[in-house]
Structure 1
């Protein structure tokens, strides 16, 4: 039987991708490990590898196709011994592989093999990324008829908040699993919400309180939520502006940070840090850096490298703050993982320095230079920019003295770093000139309270002003 090649999910939040290029043609033989195609996400270009041997019989989605939904069928491979000419594309071309109408709950059987959906076809969508850790298991519940319902935690949370009957939603995820997109589509259509109201009426014996008023308020709330593109354009004279379509990166940034500001309750803490000792130590370390074989310094430390290291150590000194929000619990970590905002054309990446508390300043410096170069070329792997507990956003090089940054979920804090400048302060009763910078910590109040956030930023300030502590 032919092997289905599906559009892979290259990150937990990916819903669509662009099929940039096919590296194999119809009729080409493929073996395990061969690269079949290149997939573009909002932030990276990744390769899809074959995990079975055979012949690429049918390409169902041509290269250059944009916004291909995850799990859509993009190609068919004729298995070993199968005639490629006999392989036929399913009705609808590259449509999503058919999922059963109702996915029965699997019975545990240690000796049983997993069956493959879609009429016995095997399916795969392997990519050249490192494992993302254990996959999030679908939470199971029961529908009105007692059947088991599979849905992601995010889908369940949104359904609960919006009053959507999760059992009435048709899933489009792997094997019929209900994902966020399905709940939002059901909410937009109003079908599942209506089912939820009907269920409530059947269970309680009476209609929900004032349904007419709630239904009448819904369109008004949607109208108040924002203006359409035509309404916005109506404010401006035609020919005085250029329309720039949203690419995947800008669309994702807009969606995630809007959700972050709406969901995560932000509060902000600002301190001034003296830099004189840090700048002196930085000069000494850079002057003492050894040379590589080509005569270049082995490292060149920046102030940002000290900031990353200090943030990592501060999280270790205040371990309760080294945590993230996980819907119904808080996750605390043993190591400090610090993301660093890197601006590129049209957006930004936030590559993560893993175990920043344990790495030397020179290691952090060299790692950041590599991340920045590959970020601008859009060659970072998803595992290199996903996750992290906190992040650093430095706009000091633009002369910005003070700003506040938006937390990037699932992180619980982000540090906004301003420019270093000479300031006049009072020291021992007399004016003195120092080099200083202002930093502002944005905190997720679900994870950190004011006192805990103050402890964290105070620990950071102490390390910046006594930088020798970062070397021991």
Structure 2
């Protein structure tokens, strides 16, 4: 008999949602069979069995959120095996148990309870009292972007608990008011202009937020808050690139393969990273990591948000390999079938919105990478060429850079060489 634990299916995953139990209790299981589909911070992934047996217990239900390492089920040699009580079911939300334990740890106060207007606090050194909070409440407040010091707690001794955070987030405020301990005087009727927030004339409804969307929001917020971005912009002449792509696709016509502009840009980025290894780095825990493999991530829009599958060893791949692999990964991303290793290990990313007609934009760095390239649409523009006005195809590029890992001059030199390679595209394959 062995326990099935919530696996870590991505490098940023902290918890997972049980999307679908593929195997039911009593089903026979062979090694390699898909047991359950799990929604991670990036996609819905299949989790396979590592041994033969029978699924004798599902410790959590579909839709439950489970932390990494928690028991989600049990496999045994026989379908009639009794599950030992020592194989606990993982709670769908660790919040309730956590808050019960914290409440139990509180000793009853000998004095009368403080008035409702007084907020119970913990010692904060010389900074005055701080509200009592649970670890879960602090984490949720951070995820919702709330100031926990402005939220009044409803737990023991005024402790701020999960319910307080969720109520404050739902109300769209950073503070929640609780009912006073003594009856309050009847309030005067509020004027019509002070209508409740939910009746503000916008006909709003709250949508269900996927785990992927929540993590995207949290990670991008952390990226902008913690990573000092700077931006470098350059517009390239894409005439030669356009002609080069047409020539390659003519040669590949019999194979069925087709090279996109993005394939050329991804390969050019890999080539340039080999020339500028200082950009192929990461700043992690006050340490600068030099990556010796060039793994370019390609941003893909899916219904749940944005995922970035990674092309490992991009510098060593041919254009045909990059094209085939990119389309394969993009398809798996849209179907929610990406494997953990297909989304991990990126050292640089490319985000292309040219197909949507976007001229240019600033991309947010995907930590722990040090840079990301934003690619706009190809446009015909009137420019001066050899002293005469001519209409040329041009593409805007913008490089977002982590200033902790890469200096401005280093980033500028990278973008300069990248632009020159794209304007002389034969260098991409040489």
TM-score relative to the length of structure 1: 0.68
- In the alignment, the residues of structure 2 paired with residue 45 and residue 409 of structure 1 have an alpha-carbon distance, to the nearest angstrom, of 21
1:228 and 1:60, CA in 2 relative to 1: closer, same or farther beyond 3 A?
A: closer
Q: Deviations over 1:402-455 (max 9, x none)?
A: 210100111110111111112222233332222111111000001101000101
- Aligned match for 1:259, one of 222, 240, 247: 222
- Alignment check: 8 A CA contact 1:387 1:410 kept: no
- Alignment check: 8 A CA contact 2:382 2:389 kept: yes
1:212 and 1:463, CA in 2 relative to 1: closer, same or farther beyond 3 A?
A: same
1:430 alignment counterpart:
388
1:87 alignment counterpart:
83
- In the alignment, the residues of structure 1 paired with residue 202 and residue 226 of structure 2 have an alpha-carbon distance, to the nearest angstrom, of 38
SS in 2 for 1:278: helix
1:462 alignment counterpart:
420
1:358 alignment counterpart:
316
1:451 and 1:4, CA in 2 relative to 1: closer, same or farther beyond 3 A?
A: same
SS in 2 for 1:258: helix
- Aligned match for 1:311, one of 269, 273, 297: 269
Q: Which runs of 5+ in 1 are unaligned?
A: 97-169, 171-190, 198-207
Q: Which runs of 5+ in 2 are unaligned?
A: 93-100, 102-119, 133-137, 152-164, 174-195
Give 1:57 deviation, angstroms: 2.8
- Aligned match for 1:234, one of 186, 194, 197: 197
**Count of residues paired in the alignment:** 358
Give 1:31 deviation, angstroms: 4.6
Give 1:275 deviation, angstroms: 0.4
1:245 alignment counterpart:
208
Stretch deviating more after TM superposition (20-29 or 394-403): 20-29
- Alignment check: 8 A CA contact 1:414 1:442 kept: yes
Give 1:53 deviation, angstroms: 4.3
- Aligned match for 1:399, one of 324, 339, 357: 357
Stretch deviating more after TM superposition (20-29 or 276-285): 20-29
SS in 1 for 2:64: strand
1:323 alignment counterpart:
281
SS in 2 for 1:417: strand
1:9 and 1:240, CA in 2 relative to 1: closer, same or farther beyond 3 A?
A: same
In the alignment, structure 1 residue 39 sits paired with structure 2 residue 35: no
Give 1:37 deviation, angstroms: 2.5
In the alignment, structure 1 residue 3 sits paired with structure 2 residue 2: yes
Give 1:213 deviation, angstroms: 7.1
Stretch deviating more after TM superposition (28-37 or 444-453): 28-37
Alpha-carbon RMSD: 3.3
- Alignment check: 8 A CA contact 1:423 1:434 kept: yes
- In the alignment, the residues of structure 2 paired with residue 331 and residue 440 of structure 1 have an alpha-carbon distance, to the nearest angstrom, of 24
- Alignment check: 8 A CA contact 2:302 2:333 kept: yes
SS in 2 for 1:380: coil
In the alignment, structure 1 residue 451 sits paired with structure 2 residue 427: no
1:471 alignment counterpart:
429
- In the alignment, the residues of structure 2 paired with residue 55 and residue 419 of structure 1 have an alpha-carbon distance, to the nearest angstrom, of 54
1:31 and 1:223, CA in 2 relative to 1: closer, same or farther beyond 3 A?
A: same
1:221 and 1:52, CA in 2 relative to 1: closer, same or farther beyond 3 A?
A: closer
- In the alignment, the residues of structure 2 paired with residue 52 and residue 71 of structure 1 have an alpha-carbon distance, to the nearest angstrom, of 18
SS in 1 for 2:365: coil
TM-score relative to the length of structure 2: 0.75
2:332 alignment counterpart:
374
1:385 alignment counterpart:
343
Give 1:29 deviation, angstroms: 4.2
Give 1:352 deviation, angstroms: 1.2
- In the alignment, the residues of structure 2 paired with residue 466 and residue 282 of structure 1 have an alpha-carbon distance, to the nearest angstrom, of 12
